[in-house]
Structure 1
Amino acid sequence: MLGPFAAVAAALGGKPATIAIAGLMAAVVGVYVGLRHPLWLYYGTVVFVTTFPFGYFPGVHVPIYLVFGCGSILALLMHPRAVRRSSPLMSAVLLLIVMSGLSMAVTFSTPLNIMDFTKWAVATGFLFALLALPNDQLCRVGKVFVYSATFSALWGMAAVALGSTKYIVKPFEIIGYYAVDKFYITGGTLTTPRTGRFDVGQDSETFQRLGGLWVDPNAAGIGLVIALAITGILFTGWQRVTLMTILMAAIVLTLSRAALASVLVGALLVFVFHNMRSRDRMLMIGTLFVGGTTAMMIPAVRKRLMGSLGENDAGASDRIAAIREFPWRMGDNWIFGNGWSLREFKDGPYAFTENFVSNAPLIAVHRGGLVAGLSFLAVIVIGCVVAAKLIRTDSLPHAFYGGVFIAFSTITLNLDHPVVVIAQMTFMYTFFLVFLQYSDELRRQGALTAPKGGALSPDTPPGPPRSGEPDSVAAQGPPLPAATA
């Protein structure tokens, strides 16, 4: 019905009219989908955040993930809430959003501040949209997340194998991606000193790091680690083994030390504190030994890890220098921060040259002051407390999830900052928090506790609550319709 009208408008009004009509048609479609097929919006959000995080609508440069994310939240408001959850973690996230909004209002300098805050708030607030779903639908969304991350991992592995992104990225040029060979300096010798910020020692080598459709290898590492942890609790049997093997191989190829350390330290926490069966303990030792040996046989991985913290490791010395300079950069703006749309958050080369601190909690303080930074720290601390409880359950997959969450919070968030300043990566951390809450609910219902005299098999999905325990909150109320006639 709008087709002839759109054709006439395009002929008479040119590009502006075409864009306006396209927007109107998209709004009509969005309203229909939100009313009749709301879960499609959730699936769309997950796919574009995880697989095409930097994709834009052709011609209008509007992030695709943002439209789907806003649509999901509106769909939630248009339908009766199927599940009502509450927890200290959710309260901390809500406080973080409120305090961040307050800091943005106090430091407001340009309308761009509102746009930047909105993107971040949608990514963070998506937690409440997901936790309004019943557990069965939430798990389906989580599985779509894992499938999408695995697709991006395979795409990235193909780019590494070909040595170029030319043929891998070209199909997605229409949504804003562009093909380019991306090589990153890694490794180096421990005996050749560095004399400048951009110097690289003699005999250093160049290796291509897996970035996938996340583009940046460190961002890819963050997404893949979160997907790996979620895979363990949502899949069983051969599917779990296959998906986790692909994701772990992709994590190794990112050469992200923070990502690798998060997985290894998470597994170590489980090994030390989880009351696992002897068979599982031996299997974990064997898996880590075989995986570690295989990874160290790859020259790029060996150079990257062996060069860490050496004289040629620019990352280590630059991070120390940035932390020392942090109080000076804050000046008198400790309470509400320096602002939301600063150049260091928009211009990568500028941020790199100026060596701004690469630490998520400190960046939260830098942008939003102590009111936002302490709120973010509260989310991290509460999440780690919940994760520690998961490690002590009888479920090995959920224990691994808890271990990786703690390692990620204490290592990755202190070595990198995308989850604070890049909305797409904020979405990834939101998914991490969502399934932490989901796992904690199962723990409190007794679904992660083995019966007396037995053991909870890693391939046994969580069962119903114990006798006398309250029914799962997710069983209350009707599910959000995935499709209606």
Structure 2
Amino acid sequence: MGIVRSLAIVAVVAAGTFGCLLAGESVMTAAFLGLALIAGSFVGLQHPTWLLWALAVVVALLPAGYVPGTPVPLIFTLTMAVLLATVLHPRDVSTFTPLEYALMALVVVAGLSVAATMQNGIDDILEYVKWTSATLLVVALLRLRADQLRTFGQVFVVASSLSAAVGLAMLTVDKSARTFDLLSPFGYDASSAGRFVFNGAAVTARLSGTYIDPNAAGIGFLAALMISLLVFDGFRRWALALLLFAAVAMTLSRAAIFSVVLALLLMLAFHTMSTRGRTAIIGTLVGGMALLSAIPASRRRIFSSFGDSDTGSTARSDALREFPEKMSGHWLFGHGWGIAEFKDPEKAFNINYVANAPLLSVYRGGLLVGILFTAIMIYGCYLAYRCLRSSRSEVALYGGCFIAFFVLGMQLDFSTVSIPVSVTDLSLMLVYLVVALRSSESTDLFRQAQSRELSVRTRAPR
């Protein structure tokens, strides 16, 4: 086994350095990457859980960061290390869920589309590998024990809360983005900090923090909000959830905000609860919408949605109308993975490809990829519906958030298909969807057993 592990390390280091050289970097950069991979491989062999905790921190705090001195994203590096450690170490959970089998099938079908549409050589392969590693993270994390998954979730939620605090500081006391100067070794640049909403003469800053893109930040904070419901208890759970929802609201991401609102409505419709709980949810909805309406920035952002004055909605409508024409001749395998519109914002703006996750998966990978991706998400919604019917309110709310994010959020935002950090956030949502369902079923079985025991005691002769 030691020989196999050593060979695996050599193969990964060689592939990483060679890939860096192919990307046009210097020999010095490739050597640095090789040393980093060796150190990471050693940690992966001796202390694999350290890689997990590091990944949880990086996804939340340095989502747009790079390995210092290289063009390699930090998330990609740590995700590959986690996948390698999963292969090399004995696994605590050996059985696979239907969701994992479906994701592995999606990776294979997507690989066929890459092979059929390859035009840009290494760029196509790199984009596919980055997406694949983030997608297969679901399989790696579901090999962990329940206590390890809980710890991973707690680290991710706490790091996301710190990320929200950093973003808030950059909105208020650090408008010159000195924070990014401190993070410059990881590739952050003060000139890229801050995103705005333009509404006539009004300019509104959006919380984006270290995500850089506020829509990606909205998805990341939404994922953290959902996971906080499962990995914390009591006051800490609701305090962190409230903080993270505030962060979601300040990103002004309509996909994330509307997903939370729809989740609460789904709770009212499908979750069995007391009158007190129902009143609390209604009060939360009314109070939350009143608060958002009282703030000019969020009021303009929300109530201008889908109107004629909303350029984003107009562009979205145009893209949907033009989608069949743009797909002509590309329906089977898509336009490709490393194409210019996925790398150049100006090119993307001019082409105006559809901002819808299921349709964008068709645009990039073809009908087979799009259908399988959508089928997996619908299956996830089925699992989420079972959570929604749980007797535990936090599990039900998680299920409601997942359904709402797919039904609404992923139809308004495409980043869970094309942006690695958002693909990773979606993977985390899927992982903890399985965790939520297991938690719900174990609780329900325990209560059923208690009920049967009480029934037997009641009928027993005295």
Runs of 5+ unmatched residues, structure 2 = 1-24, 454-462
Contact persistence 1:443–1:449 (CA under 8 A): no
Q: Give the whole-Å Cα distance in 1 for the aligned partners of 2:450 and 2:311.
A: 53
Per-residue CA deviation, residues 71-104 of structure 1 (Å, 9 max, x unaligned), is 1111111111110233222222111111111111
Instruction: Give the Cα separation in 2 of the matches to 1:453 and 1:34.
Output: 43
| Shift of residue 448, structure 1, vs aligned partner | 7.4
Are 2:220 and 1:210 equivalent residues in the alignment?
Answer: no
Distance 1:309 1:48 in 2: 34
SS at match of 2:206: coil
Partner of 2:127: 116
Pick from 378, 386, 400 the counterpart of residue 389 of structure 1: 386
Which residue does 2:85 correspond to in 1? 75
Query: For residue 261 of structure 1, what is the aligned residue in structure 2?
Result: 258
Residue 196 of structure 2 is aligned to residue 184 of structure 1: yes
Identify the residue that residue 327 of structure 2 maps to in structure 1: 330
* Matched residue type, 2:299: R
Aligned to 1:65: 75
Letter in 2 for 1:161: T
Matched, 1:42 2:27: no
1:217 and 1:334 map into 2 onto residues whose CA distance is 31
Residue of structure 1 in register with 2:65 after alignment = 55
Indicate the residue corresponding to 1:136 in structure 2.
Answer: 147
* 1:54-453 correspondence runs (5 A): 54-109=64-119, 110-162=121-173, 164-180=175-191, 182-186=194-198, 188=199, 201=200, 204-447=201-444, 450=447
Name the TM-score, length of structure 2 as normaliser: 0.88
8 A Cα contact 1:232 1:397, kept in partner = yes
The CA deviation at 1:162 is 2.9
Residue identity (%): 38
Change (3 A) 1:32 1:104: same
Q: How many angstroms apart in 1 are the aligned matches of 2:255 and 2:385?
A: 20
The residue type paired with residue 103 of structure 1 is S
Aligned with 1:22 (options 17, 26, 32): 32
Distance, in Å, in 1 between the alignment partners of 2:126 and 2:202 is: 41
Paired residue type of 1:94: M
Residues 28, 183 of structure 1: alpha-carbon distance in 2 compared, 3 angstrom cutoff: closer
Q: Distance in 2 between matches of 1:89 and 1:30?
A: 29
**Alpha-carbon offset, residue 409 of structure 1:** 0.3
Partners of 1:338 and 1:366 within 8 A in 2: yes
Q: In the TM superposition, what is the alpha-carbon distance from 1:165 to its structure 2 partner? A: 4.7
Unaligned runs of 5+ in 1: 1-14, 189-200, 455-465, 468-485
1:16 deviation in Å? 4.9
Q: Quick one: distance in 2 between partners of 1:83 and 1:294?
A: 45
Structure 1 range deviating more: 445-454 or 303-312: 445-454
CA displacement, residues 1-49 of structure 1 (integer Å, 9 cap, x when unaligned):
xxxxxxxxxxxxxx95643543343233222211110011111222212
Quick check: 1:442–1:448 contact (8 Å CA) kept in 2?
no
Conserved 8 A contact 1:96-1:376 = yes
Q: Which has the higher contact order (CA 8 A, sep 6+)?
A: 1
Q: Would you say the 8 A contact 2:196–2:204 is kept in 1?
A: yes
Report the counterpart of residue 461 of structure 1 in structure 2: none
Verify the 8 A CA contact 1:44 1:65 in the aligned structure 2: no
The separation in 2 between residues aligned to 1:349 and 1:315, in whole angstroms, is 15
Shift of 1:343: 1.1
- SS of match in other structure, 1:339: coil
Instruction: Judging by fraction of residues, say which structure has more helix.
Output: 2
Deviation of residue 58 (structure 1)?
A: 2.2
Which AA in structure 2 matches 1:398? Answer: V
Counterparts of 2:289 and 2:447, CA distance in 1: 31
SS at match of 1:164: coil
CA contact (8 A) 2:176 2:190 kept: yes
Per the TM alignment, residue 64 of structure 1 is displaced from its structure 2 partner at its CA by: 1.3
8 Å CA contact retained: 2:194, 2:207: no
SS of residue in 2 equivalent to 1:177: coil
Deviates more, 1:237-246 or 1:355-364: 237-246
Figure out how many residues of one structure are paired with residues of the other and give that number: 427
- The letter of the residue matching 2:196 is Y
3-state DSSP of counterpart to 1:184: strand
- Compared CA separation, residues 447 and 84, structure 1 to 2 (3 A): farther
> Where does residue 32 of structure 1 map in the other structure?
42
Q: 1:278 to 1:47 in 2, by over 3 A?
A: same
Q: Do the aligned partners of residues 183 and 131 (structure 1) sit closer, same or farther apart at CA in structure 2, a change above 3 Å counting?
A: closer
Find the aligned partners of 1:335 and 1:26 in 2 and give their Cα distance. 40
Normalising by the residue count of structure 1, what TM-score does the alignment of the two structures yield?
A: 0.84
Q: Tell which deviates more after alignment, 271-280 or 206-215.
A: 271-280
**Cα offsets for 1:139-175 (capped at 9, x unmatched):** 1111111112111111111111237252232210111
In the other structure, the counterpart of 2:10 is: none
Contact 1:395–1:449 (CA<8 Å) still a contact in 2? Answer: no
Partner SS, residue 208 of structure 1: strand
391-400 or 285-294: which moved more?
285-294
Deviation of 1:345 (Å): 0.7
Q: Residues of 2 paired with 1:350 and 1:449: CA distance?
A: 56
| 8 Å CA contact retained: 2:194, 2:209 | no
